[in-house]
Amino acid sequence: MKKIKIGIAGSRGLSTVMGLRALPDVEITALCNLDEATLDAQAKELGVAHKYRVFEDMLASDIDAVVIATPMQCHVPQAIAALEAGKHVMSEVTAGVTMDELWWLIETVEKSGCIYMMAENYIYTPQVQMVKEMVKAGLFGDTYYAEGMYLHNIDGLFKYPDGRSTWRSFWQCGKRGNFYPTHSVGPVMNWFPGDRITEITTYSPGVYNELGLRQDSGTTTMCRTEGGKLLNIRVDCTSPRPHNMTYYQLQGTKGIFQAASMGFGDRDKVSFLGADNPLGNMHWEALDNYRDYLPERYKAATAEQNAAGHGGGDFFIVEDFINAIRTNTQPEIDVYKACEWTAVGLLSELSVTNGSRTMQMPHFRKNMPLEEKKITL
Ligand SMILES: NC(=O)c1ccc[n+]([C@@H]2O[C@H](COP(=O)([O-])OP(=O)(O)OC[C@H]3O[C@@H](n4cnc5c(N)ncnc54)[C@H](O)[C@@H]3O)[C@@H](O)[C@H]2O)c1
């Protein structure tokens, strides 16, 4: 098998190292980081020979693919440069920071013929995967409502130690609306296979933080899907509260899944209608009772795959990227899904700054006509 050579840009990209190293005929040959001291330390620790401060210089090397894990506003410019250089791309979330960037990304992926995958890792957690299989098996009946919430106070991430502002002060909390939707939308849409979001409306209580940031004190975005389902997507990164980044709910005609609140002894739980669990008097049981529904590859994960992190999820995400390259088939989280889930956030900014107007979601798909590449109320 031909060896696939990978270059990784940005420190967060190192979360793929153990997964990539657990795969046969994959080699991490290059690292890129603007910060020289960080770059030197990481290359030494990982034993990677080639180091680049400039992303374009790394593209000129003989790598086949890049992991882009630089700040959000770098993702599309770097993905386009990589695709035009004939390199496959796995990009951190979110896919891009403007709607225009999303059209440019799609057009470049289509022209390049290279693989593009968004690294939406929350989909790969064992819980989210189990619920997907339980949906497929019909345990929830007809599913019609879901919630995804990312509640993560990031107060410490707005300033460098020397007092300069970080990119998060601008491209995340310097913006209105939901700036970080994919960890919530991705897992939830994964439970409605074949469906797509058609419109979104965002509500906010306004700005209550005292940091001088424009970001709302939490936003709630209601999404409608083509199949008539309703999604409630929430982000709050400035309010004083404990973290809860993986809160989900899925309601169907026969039962419900509700994720644990992080901490405080809560657990992922389900409840299904039955003779001993009647309407009006239903009780919870642990999601863990349904571990038989865990996909086979998770059940069979080796110690090395599990060690990559998140119950094997951090291995399977890179396995899917490498398989996509080897089979020359776009992965499940392709550029169209990446753009739709990212656009929930970009359109939410317009909705919330225009009296919670409903925004239409473009139908992101292959060979999308030029006249559809626009923003409509
Ligand atoms: N999927 C997840 O769970 C998850 C978690 C954290 C961060 N992220 C994403 O990862 C990305 C990075 O976030 P972070 O928390 O690591 O940010 P960070 O600011 O802590 O680190 C960014 C790193 O990229 C380097 N860098 C900046 N510009 C660069 C450039 N042009 N070329 C090369 N290197 C550059 C910096 O030196 C730094 O090491 C963001 O897009 C964020 O949304 C995802």
Per residue in 232-269, pLDDT (tens digit) is 999 999 999 999 999 999 999 999 999 998 888 899 99
Residue 23 lies in a domain: no
Residue 14 lies in a domain: no
3-state SS assignment for residue 89? strand
Residue 51 lies in a domain: no
Average pLDDT over residues 303-330: 96
How far away, in angstroms, is 117 Cα from ligand 1 center? 17
User: What is the reported pLDDT for 262?
Assistant: 82
Residue 29 lies in a domain: no
Report the alpha-carbon distance of residue 332 to residue 76 in Å, rounded. Answer: 19
Q: Which two tokens stand for residue 28?
A: 């991490």
Q: Which two tokens stand for residue 16?
A: 């793929």
3-state SS assignment for residue 25? coil
List, chain by chain if needed, residues with CB within 6 Å of any ligand 1 atom: 9-12, 32-35, 38, 55, 69-72, 74, 92-93, 121, 166
User: What is the reported pLDDT for 22?
Assistant: 96
Put simply, whether the predicted model's pTM sits higher than 0.95 gets the answer yes
Residue % of the chain over a pLDDT of 90: 96
13 CA closest ligand 1 atom index: 10
Is the predicted pLDDT of residue 200 greater than 90, yes or no?
yes
How far away, in angstroms, is 10 Cα from ligand 1 center? 5
What is the four-CA torsion angle of 328, 181, 312, 249, rounded to 10 degrees?
A: -120
Residue 311 lies in a domain: no
How far away, in angstroms, is 8 Cα from ligand 1 center? 11
**Residue 187 parent element (H or E):** helix 182-190
Residue 358 lies in a domain: yes
**Which structural domain range is residue 279 located in?**
121-297+334-377
User: What is the reported pLDDT for 263?
Assistant: 82
CA distances from 210 to 142, 238, 254 (A): 44, 9, 44
Give me the long-range contacts of 289-296 (CB less than 8 A, separation at least 24). Answer: 290/130, 290/134, 290/139, 291/130, 293/130, 293/133, 293/134, 293/137, 294/126, 294/129, 294/130, 294/133, 295/129, 295/133
The answer to whether 348 and 219 are in contact (CB under 8 A) is yes
Query: What average pLDDT is seen over the chain?
Result: 97
Residue 259 lies in a domain: yes
Measuring from atom 28 of ligand 1, which residue has the nearest CA?
Answer: 70
Report the alpha-carbon distance of residue 232 to residue 249 in Å, rounded. Answer: 9
Measuring from atom 7 of ligand 1, which residue has the nearest CA?
Answer: 12
Residue 215 lies in a domain: yes
Report the alpha-carbon distance of residue 305 to residue 129 in Å, rounded. Answer: 16
Written as one string, the DSSP assignment of 235-249 is: EESSSSS--EEEEEE
Domain with 183 in it: what CATH number? 3.30.360.10
How far away, in angstroms, is 38 Cα from ligand 1 center? 12
What is the count of structural domains for the chain?
Answer: 1
